Amino acid sequence: MNVVFLSPHYPAEMRQYTRGLAEVGANVFGVGDSPVGAIPPETRRYLSGYLQVPRIMDEADVLKRVREWLKGQRVDRVESNWEPLVLLAARIREAFGCPGMTYDTVLGFRDKQLMKERVKAAGLRVPHSFRVKSGPEAHAAVERIGYPVCIKPIAGAGSADTYRVDSDADLERVLKLTQHVPEVSVEEFVEGEEFTYDTVCVNGVPQIENCAQYIPRPLDARSNEWISPIICTVRDIQQPKIQQGLKLGRGVLKALNMGSGFTHMEWYRKSDGEVVFGEIGCRPGGAHLIDQINYTCDVDLFREWARAVCWGSFEGRTTRRYNVAIIFKRAQGEGYIRHIAGLDRYMQRYGMGVVWENLLPVGSHRRNWKQTLVSDGFLMVRHPSWEGAMHMAWAAATEVTMYAS
């Protein structure tokens, strides 16, 4: 089994998928724009070959170079788990005649307007939205939808360049902030709780399903630096309000003709109980969500994803044993981390439930919280009960403080 895997070491979690592919028996041929010496030795050992390209985002050039590099070799699969490269993977897949989702299918997971059109055509509830390329088009869309609206890139990832707009003045401000984005989606802002629906699929059939709740919603978290955002997987996905979201998610997978691999979807539950589709990608959730699911079920989804895409099977545990919360911390002040208050006391009280403490150490330069959800590090905790997990999460959010100067 020869697998071309795009960007095998960046972002950092891609190294785990490279490992997973090798562990299920694949020969992994990596393609990236970093020199091979920049790939950590523990990842290099899983590669059967590596091609450095000048610009990994240049689809035409990468496709040409990969075809020349592997000319005469059998290519069985082409995969990417990084959002910006899923369409490139589909292009290469089609060029080599490999099994897997076509470019048009993957485009349905990447183009947010096309995505909503296909999901809506299946009879599922989506936000009212319009594709917009100019200021006048944005004003026309808002006039039809009404405030509040959400403006986001057509081909974005996460909550980057995503804004809530409540007035004409807001709209003008956001249009200036998004001038660098070629196309945006102007859509109905759905009030409600926000959840994920995550899967590993084999031929469109979920082999494992996950739901996690954002606390608060990502758009609120990225707008207020003082917030310590929490994401918590839900152990009991059989409860009625979660089941409605899972039913919606399964319908979305069918509507978009999902094949084999990861999916990561956001959905909303309104105060009246209605569930509404948000968006979906045919790739794993970021910010250590896969680690959370692994700790939820005591499974290795890095490896089980590889087994699914290579061999069409899944052998991992799916029993949900814990609610797992990740709490992202943002230091107060600028510059270097000088002090972490409350951590020792927190670990004394809750250490048995902490599965990962990954805060930046004292002396590190703090990160730009607007550019990464991980911010200045995180704590990850787990507990069999929702109340227990949330108690530990709130304590981490409110009692542990990082200071920079």
pLDDT in tens, 90-134: 999 999 999 999 999 999 999 999 999 999 999 999 999 999 899
pLDDT at residue number 352: 97
Q: Which CATH architecture has domain 191-224+231-315?
A: 2-Layer Sandwich (3.30)
The whole-angstrom separation of Cα 211 and Cα 196 is 5
Which DSSP state fits 281? E
230, two tokens = 């929490």
The superfamily in CATH containing domain 128-188 is ATP-grasp fold, A domain (3.30.1490.20)
Task: Report the candidate in 334, 349, 403 with the shortest Cα–Cα distance to residue 381.
Answer: 349
At 213, the pLDDT band (50, 70, 90 cuts) reads very high
**Residue 158 in this model has a pLDDT that exceeds 80:** no
**Residue 157 in this model has a pLDDT that exceeds 70:** no
What's the CA angle centered on 159, arms 155 and 160, to 5 degrees?
A: 70
Which DSSP state fits 344? H
40, two tokens = 């950590």
Domain positions in the chain: 2-100, 128-188, 191-224+231-315, 322-405
How buried is 342 (Cβ within 10 angstroms: 0-12 exposed, 13-18 middle, 19+ buried)? Answer: middle
The whole-angstrom separation of Cα 167 and Cα 370 is 23
List for the chain the helix, strand, coil content (%; round to 5): 35, 25, 35
**Residue 7 in this model has a pLDDT that exceeds 80:** yes
Q: Is 352 helix (H, G, I), strand (E, B) or coil?
A: helix
What counts of helices (H) and strands (E) characterise the chain?
Answer: 14, 19
256, two tokens = 């978009």
The CA–CA distances, whole Å, from 354 to 184, 326, 375, 384, 393 equal 40, 10, 19, 13, 10
The whole-angstrom separation of Cα 234 and Cα 239 is 10
Tell me the average pLDDT across 312-320.
98
Q: Is 287 helix (H, G, I), strand (E, B) or coil?
A: coil
- Which residues, including other chains, have CB under 8 Å from residue 318's CB and lie 6 or more apart? 207, 208, 297, 299
The whole-angstrom separation of Cα 258 and Cα 115 is 12
Tell me the average pLDDT across 191-206.
97
Q: Which long-range contacts (CB under 8 A, 24 or more apart) does 220-223 make?
A: 221/373, 222/159, 222/162, 222/370, 222/373
pLDDT digits (tens, 9 = 90+) for 355-375: 999 999 999 999 999 889 999
Spacing of C-alpha 108 from chain mean position: 16
Q: Which long-range contacts (CB under 8 A, 24 or more apart) does 293-299 make?
A: 293/198, 293/208, 293/210, 293/233, 293/324, 295/322, 295/324, 295/355, 295/380, 295/382, 296/210, 296/233, 296/235, 296/320, 296/321, 296/322, 296/323, 296/324, 296/382, 297/208, 297/321, 299/208
76, two tokens = 């069985």
Q: Which CATH architecture has domain 2-100?
A: 3-Layer(aba) Sandwich (3.40)
**Residue 159 in this model has a pLDDT that exceeds 90:** no
**Beta strands 77-79 and 2-6: pairing type?**
parallel
At 1, the pLDDT band (50, 70, 90 cuts) reads very high
At 150, the pLDDT band (50, 70, 90 cuts) reads very high
pLDDT at residue number 351: 96
